Structure 1
Amino acid sequence: MPVVAGTDGSAHAERAVAWAADEAALRGLPLRIVHTLARWGKDMPVRPPRDAEEALPTVGQRLLDEAARQARERHPDLAVTTELLRESMPFALRDEAGGAFEIVLGHRGLGGFRSLLLGSTALRVAGRTEGPVVIVRGRVLPAYGEITLGVDPFEEQTASLEYAFEAAAVRGARLRAVHAFQLAAPDDPAVTPDDVAAVAREELAKVLAPLTERFPQVEVVQQVVQDHPVNALVDLSENTDLLVLGAHGHTALGGLLLGAISHGVLHHAHCPIAIVRPRS
C-alpha cells in the first residue's frame, strides 16, 4: 500500500510531499502523488477562456512531475508514481484512502483566505476519510525523537494506538501518551483533581498495556494532566515530531466527522498531525 500525497503546487503541498516521501522511504513503501484538475462551477458569472481550461491537464502534469522530482531528490531509490485525477481533491483523496497506507496533505492550499489556519480541503479530508490522514503543519524534519499520542482511555481508539506505536517503532522514537481532563463540576468537594487523575492513570495504563507488550522496543511516557485537551495537545506539539489523534465523531446521518478536540488541534498544532479513523 502506498503513502498517498495530494498536491496543488502550493508551498504547503510541497512540504506535505516532502513529509510523505520521508515517510514512504522510512517504511519501505512506494509514494503516490495525486493532483486534481480545478473546475469552474457552472454558476460562476464569468468563465475563463477556453484555452485556459484546456491548459489545466498540462499544468497539472507539470505540478506532478515537479513534485515527483523533489521526492526522488530526497530519496533517489524511492518508487514514485503520479496521477492526474478528475474529482475534486477531497473526494479524490477519500477514494484513494481505501488502497493507501495513509493520506498526506498540507494544512492549506492555494485557495481560500490567508487568515485561515486550516484549509477546507484538509478539514474535509481529515473529517471524512477512513484510515490515517496526516495534515502537515510546522516542521517537516524530525527534531525531538518523540511522538505524542492523545488518549482518551474511556473511548475505543485501537486504530490510533496501533498507528502511534508503529510510528514510534519505525522511527526509533519515544512515545508520549497523554490524557488531559477537566473537572465536570470544579466546585464539588467530593471529586478532587487528584482523584480523577488517579483513575485516569490507572485506565491509561490498562489501555496501553497490550501495545507495550507488542512493541517492547518503544519507550513510553504516560502523562495525565488537568487541562483542556486542545490546550494540552497544542502545547505539547511544540516539542514533538508527530501528534497522533483518534477520530470518533459521527453525524446524525451516519457520516464521518471530526470530534471537537481533533478539530481544535488541527487548527493550532505546531507539528504534523495524524488523524486516525478505523477502517470499516
Structure 2
Amino acid sequence: MELPLLVGVDGSEAGMRATDWAADEAVLRGVPLRLVHASLWEHYEGTSLAQDLAEPAEQVMAEDIVRAAARRARTRHPDLEVSAEVLPEEPESALVREGQYTSLLVLGNRGRSGLAELLLGSVGLTVAAYAPCPVVVLRGSHDNQAVPGTRGRVVVGVGDAPQETAAVRFAYEEARRRAVPLEAVRAWRCPVREAVREPEDGVQSAEEKAAETLQAALADAPEDLKVHPRTVEGPAHRVLLGASYDADLLVVGSRRSPGALGLQLGRVTHAVLHHAACPVVVVPQPV
C-alpha cells in the first residue's frame, strides 16, 4: 500500500498554500493526502473547562482548521482521497513521528507567528532536521501548485559523497514525475594554499575533482531522464541559492547520525531553507 502524503496545516495562509501544493503532489504521485494539525490545546484549556463546555475553544478552532483545509483540497481535486486529523501535542514531535508513516511531508514557509517570511520558523527547522521522510518546505513563489512547473527543471545539490545519494535518487524521481530535466549542481572552491603557490594548477585541480565527484554521483542516472551536470565555483549555499531562482524544486540531502544531538542540518541546508527562491526538499541521508 502506498504511503500517504502528509501536510501540516495551522490555519495560516502559508498553510493553505501548502495544502494546495500538497494536493497537487499527491495527485501526481497517485497517493492519498493526509492533513494534520497539531496543537497543545488540551494542556492550556484544562480538564475543568472541558467538562463545562461541549468542546474546548482551541479544539473547536483546530477542528475548523483541518476541515477548511480538507474542503480546500477536495475542491481542488474532487477525486483525491483526503483525510484530516487533529493531534493534541507539540507540532514538532507530532510531525516528526508521523513522518514514519508518510512518503513526503509538506510544510508552509511560516505559520501564524508573524515572523518575517524570509525566515523559516522553529517547527519547520526541527521537522526538516529529524523527520525520517523527505520534507518539503514551500519557499519562494510556487503559485500554489506542484505542477505544471513554471521554470521547467528540478535542481539537486551534490555534496562530497563519491556515490549516488538518497537526495540524488529522490531528485531523479521528481524530475521524471514532472517530465522536466534535472540539473545536478556541484559547488567547488580553490584551496587557498594551492591558489597561492600554483594558481592555474590549483583551480584546475579543484574543478576537476568537483567534476569527478559529480560524475560519480550521477553514474546510475536513468536513461530516459535528461540530466545536466554543472560545476560552479563559489560557496555551496550561494551556488544553490542562485540555482533556486531557475528551479521548480531544489533538492538537498541531510546526513543523519543516530543518537547525535543538535538539529543535524548543515550550513548549506540552513541557508536554502531560509532563503531559497523555490520549494526545498530535505532528504535524509544515513551516515
Q: TM-score, normalised by structure 2?
A: 0.87
Q: Name the SS for the 2:174 alignment partner.
A: helix
**What are structure 2's unaligned runs of at least 5 residues?**
45-51
Q: Counterpart of 2:124 in 1: which secondary structure?
A: helix
- Quote how far apart the aligned CAs of 1:107 are: 1.6
Cα distance in 2 between the residues matched to 1:279 and 1:75 = 35
Partner of 1:45: none
Let me know the Cα RMSD of the aligned residues. Answer: 2.5
Conservation of the 8 A alpha-carbon contact between 1:151 and 1:178: yes
**CA offsets per residue over residues 191-238 of structure 1, 9 Å max, x none?**
52222111211221121011x1xx222110000000111111111111
Cα deviation, residue 279, structure 1: 6.7
Structure 2 residue aligned with 1:89: 91
Name the aligned partner's letter for residue 125 of structure 1.
V
Q: Distance in 2 between matches of 1:279 and 1:188?
A: 37
Q: Which one-letter code corresponds to 1:162 in the other structure?
A: R
1:262 to 269, 282, 285: 269
Within 2, Cα distance between the matches of 1:261 and 1:251?
Answer: 21
Give the aligned partner of residue 5 of structure 1.
7
Contact between 1:179 and 1:225, CA under 8 Å: does it hold in 2? Answer: yes
Is it true that 1:274 corresponds to 2:281 in the alignment?
yes
Aligned residues: 271
Q: CA–CA distance in 2 between the matches of 1:27 and 1:15?
A: 18
> How much has 1:181 moved relative to structure 2?
1.7
CA contact (8 A) 1:146 1:240 kept: yes
Tell me, in whole angstroms, the C-alpha distance in 2 between the residues paired with 1:116 and 1:87: 27
CA–CA distance in 2 between the matches of 1:26 and 1:230? 29
**2:188 aligned partner, one-letter code:** F
Answer yes or no: is 1:207 the counterpart of 2:209.
no
Alignment correspondent of 1:158: 165
Secondary structure (helix, strand or coil) at the match of 2:31 reads coil
Deviation at 1:276, TM superposition (A): 0.2
Q: CA deviation at 1:24?
A: 0.4
- Over 3 Å counting, the alpha-carbon distance change for 1:195 and 1:184 in structure 2 is closer
> Conserved in 2, the CA contact under 8 Å of 1:176 and 1:221?
yes
Q: How far apart are the structure 2 equivalents of 1:263 and 1:157? A: 22
Tell me, in whole angstroms, the C-alpha distance in 2 between the residues paired with 1:155 and 1:266: 25
Find the counterpart in structure 1 of residue 181 from structure 2: 174
Contact 2:42-2:88 within 8 A present in 1 as well: no
SS in 2 for 1:154: coil
Structure 1 position 221 matched with structure 2 position 228: yes
Structure 1 SS opposite 2:196: coil
1:170 match: secondary structure? helix
Q: 2:76 aligns to what?
A: 74
What's the % identity of the aligned pairs? 37
* 1:120 maps to amino acid: S
In 2, distance between residues paired with 1:156 and 1:16? 33
Preserved contact between residue 154 and residue 180 of structure 2 (Cα < 8 Å): yes
Q: Is the 8 A contact 1:174 1:219 kept in 2?
A: yes
Query: For residue 48 of structure 2, what is the aligned residue in structure 1?
Result: none
Residue 126 of structure 1 is matched in structure 2 by: 128
Render the CA deviation track for 1:57-114: whole Å, top value 9, x for unaligned.
Answer: 1111111111011111221111000001012111111011111001110121002533
